[in-house]
Amino acid sequence: MSGSSPQILVVDDDDEIRSLLQVVLTREGFRVQEAKDAPTARRLLGAQDGVDLILDIMMPGEDGLSFCQRLRETLDTPILMVSARGLSIDRSIGLELGADDYLPKPFERRELVARVKAILRRGGSSARAGRHRVGGLLIDLGRRAVLDEQDAPLSLTSGEFELLRCFVDRAGRVLSRDQLIEWTRGRSSDAFDRNIDVQISRLRKKLVERGFPEDGFKTVRNVGYVLTTAVESAP
């Protein structure tokens, strides 16, 4: 994160929406840049480090979902998707493609700011440093890195990493969906938002593909999830 305050790139084809977000976020102390389409956003990202991306699904040319998917191939920059399409399937697809959170329009300004701050807290929360061996993987909380047995890095979004951190910190405990939502997204999030299940499923798949035991996570029906794999301190 460069500079004295977080920098946010707002990507939206609506001039009024971009202007509104620029005013709201600047008042909160953020540095804000704007892009009306994916090519402009890529140029800005290539010139400097973006901290958070606010995407509109209805961008011309390349929509927000496709843009999010392509970004995830090369960047782990936190992404908050903002869209007028609030159907649960759209929210699920957005999270599956790598978004850290999804906020439907219309939204309250306070909720938008709270979601942005929660994402940025997750992205910069390296205070609880430590290295752990879990299911054959090395999890370095300080560096926010996950390595497999061949020392190859595993690409996780900031939301996925914070979920993993929650399970590592509380191994053996059953964690409810509401707890996971609060710890990873903040109190402002909808307590009935079941898209947390999508992120957990995606996290499981990524870990298992790198050798993590398939039964390392267990679902406790109507309650939540538990990390059943032993967590050991690593040098």
Q: Where are the domains of the chain?
A: 7-123, 131-233
Q: What is the pLDDT of residue 203?
A: 93
Give the chain's largest Cα–Cα span.
52
Q: Is 136 left (phi over 0), alpha (psi -120 to 50) or beta?
A: left
> If DSSP codes are grouped into helix, strand and coil, which group holds residue 5?
coil
Please state, in angstroms and rounded to a whole number, the distance separating the CA atoms of residues 204 and 186: 22
Cis peptide before 235 (omega within 30 of 0): no
Same CATH topology for 7-123 and 131-233: the answer is no
Please state, in angstroms and rounded to a whole number, the distance separating the CA atoms of residues 163 and 150: 23
Please state, in angstroms and rounded to a whole number, the distance separating the CA atoms of residues 27 and 52: 16
**In which band, very low, low, confident or very high, does the pLDDT at 174 lie, cut at 50, 70 and 90?**
very high
Q: What is the pLDDT of residue 4?
A: 62
Residue 224 host element (H or E): strand 224-227
Q: Decide: pTM greater than 0.85.
A: no
Q: What is the pLDDT of residue 1?
A: 43
**What CATH class has 131-233?**
mainly alpha
Comparing 36 with 84, which gets the higher pLDDT? 36
Please state, in angstroms and rounded to a whole number, the distance separating the CA atoms of residues 125 and 128: 7
pLDDT (tens digit per residue) in 27-55:
999 989 998 888 888 888 877 655 565 65
Decide if pLDDT at 218 tops 90: yes
Q: What is the pLDDT of residue 62?
A: 66
150 by Cβ neighbours in 10 Å (0-12 / 13-18 / 19+) ranks as exposed
Question: Which tokens go with 229?
Answer: 């794999």
**What CATH class has 7-123?**
alpha beta
- Report the chain's mean pLDDT, rounded to a whole number: 80
